[in-house]
Amino acid sequence: MLWITDINFQAVPDENLKNTAYFKAKSDYTQYMQEINAKTLSMFVYYWKDESAASIHARIDGMLAGFHRGDTLIVQLPVYIRPLNIKILIEHIHNEFKGKVIAMIHDYETLLYGKEKLEFDQTLDPLMDVFHTGTYDVLVPEFDALIVHSEPFKDALKSRLNYNKPIVVQGPFGYKIADEIDIPEHKFSRSIVFAGYLAKAQYLKTIPEGWHLDVFGPMVNEQIKQNPNITYHGNFSPTELPYHLPDGFGLVWASETYPEVTGIAGMYTKINYSHKISAYLTAKLPLIVWSKSAPAKWVVENGLGFAVDNLDEITPILDTMTEEKYRYFQKNLNTMSNLIREGIFEKAAALDAYAEINQISSRTKY
C-alpha cells in the first residue's frame, strides 16, 4: 500500500508564503496521491529540539497505526521540523514494517542558496536544528528512492551524494483548480505576463521601454508599481490565479539583473521546474523560458512556447509572432492544461518509484 505525507501548514507563521507555491505544491501533491489510492499520513509542522526519544517514538507509533508490513511512504521535502524525527520515521518503517520510504524533493535548498547562507547553516546541527541547507546531504541518502524535477536535477544529486538508489524524474508539477471550471483559450496578444514571488524578480525594475508587462504576486515594491511599462494586478491565491491571467505569454525567469540570468536563483533553474510553469500551463498561457533552464527543451519540443538566451531576445520574437503561431500554442496548451490539472506527471513518477523499489529486479522488463 502507498502512503503520502499530509502536512499541516497551519503552524507556519509567514503569511507572505500563503500565496506562493510553498503551500500549494505540497497540498496538491497530497491530493493527487490520494487520487491513485494512496493513504495519508498526517505530519504536523512543529519544532521541539529536545523532544525525548520516548516522546518521538510514541508519536511515530501513532502516526503509523494504520501502516502494514511492506507498505511504502512518500515524504515531501523539505518539511520544517526537527530532521531527526524524519530519520527515526524512516528507520521505524524499515525495521518494524520492512517497508520503503521515497523522498519527493520539491526543493534542494543546498543547491539554491548562496555562500553566506550555506556557511551559516554549517554551524547548525543537520538533524537536531530545524530543517536547513545542511540537512539535505545527511538525510536524503536515508531514503530508498527519490523523485526529482529533471534529468539535470537527478545528475546533480547522483554526483553530490554518490546516490546509487533509484531516482525518478517527474517533470512539471500538477496544479489543482476547481474541476468544474473551464479555462478558455487566450486571444492573440504580444503582452508578457509575470506571476510569482516578486522579491526574486529584481530584473523587473529595469525592463526596457516597449515592453508591456502584466505582473501578479506578493512583495511588490514601489519601483515596480510606478514603472509605466508594468501593470500590477495585485496578489491572488494560487487557486484563483489562473482565472486572472490575461492574454499574452507567461514569463518564467529568475534573475537579479536585466537582461542576462544572474544570481543563485537563476542558476537553480538549470535543474528546477518552477511551479509557475504549471500555473501558466493550467491557464493556457504559452511560455517564455530561459534556454538553459531545465524545462526549456520540453517546452519547445511540445509546442508550449519559446526559449531565449536573454531577455533582449524576447521583443524581436514577439514582434514577428503571428496569430497562427499563437493558435498553434493554444492547441497544444488545451491538452497540456488538462494533464497538469490532473497531476498526470506527479502520479506517473510516484507510481514508477513505487514499482521500482518494490521489485526484486526492476531492470527486467515485462
Higher pLDDT, 20 or 261: 261
Residues in the chain: 366
Write down the pLDDT at residue 20: 60
Average pLDDT estimate for 246-261: 95
Which amino acid makes up residue 92? H
Cβ atoms of residues 284 and 337 within 8 Å: yes
Q: How many CB atoms lie within 10 A of CB 111?
A: 19
Q: How much is the average pLDDT of 187-201?
A: 91
Which CATH number is 2-174+344-357 given? 3.40.50.2000
Query: pLDDT tens digits, residue range 130-145?
Result: 998 999 999 999 999 9
C-alpha cell at 334: 488545451
pLDDT in tens, 288-307: 999 999 999 999 999 999 99
Domain extent listing, the chain: 2-174+344-357, 192-341
CA dihedral 289, 202, 107, 308 (to 10 degrees): 10
- Pairing assessment for the beta strands 192-195 and 213-216 based on DSSP bridges: parallel
Report pTM: 0.94
Q: How far apart are CA 142 and CA 123, in angstroms?
A: 22
pLDDT of residue 342: 98
User: Is residue 19 scored above 60 in pLDDT?
Assistant: no
Structural domain 192-341, CATH architecture: 3-Layer(aba) Sandwich (3.40)
Higher pLDDT among residues 224 and 191, named by residue: 191
Q: What is the CA radius of gyration of the chain?
A: 21
Q: Return the amino acid letter for 262.
A: T
Q: Which residue has the cell 531492470?
A: 363
Instruction: Name residue 277's amino acid.
Output: I
Instruction: Check if 2-174+344-357 and 192-341 are the same fold.
Output: yes
Q: How far apart, in whole angstroms, are the C-alpha atoms of residue 80 and residue 83?
A: 8
**What pairs with residue 194 in β-bridges?**
215
| Between 317 and 223, residue with greater pLDDT | 317
For residue 202, what pLDDT band results from cuts at 50, 70 and 90? confident
User: pLDDT-based confidence at 223, cuts 50/70/90?
Assistant: confident
Q: How far is 24 from 33, CA to CA, in rounded Å?
A: 14
Residue 267 one-letter amino acid: M
Which residue carries 530543517 as its cell?
Answer: 131
Q: Which three cell numbers stand for residue 109?
A: 535548498
Q: What are phi and psi of 44, to 5 degrees?
A: -90, 140
- Mean model confidence pLDDT for the chain: 92
Which of 321, 344, 359 is CA-nearest to residue 172? Answer: 344
User: Could you give the maximum distance between any two Cα atoms of the chain, in Å?
Assistant: 67
User: So what's the pLDDT on residue 363?
Assistant: 59
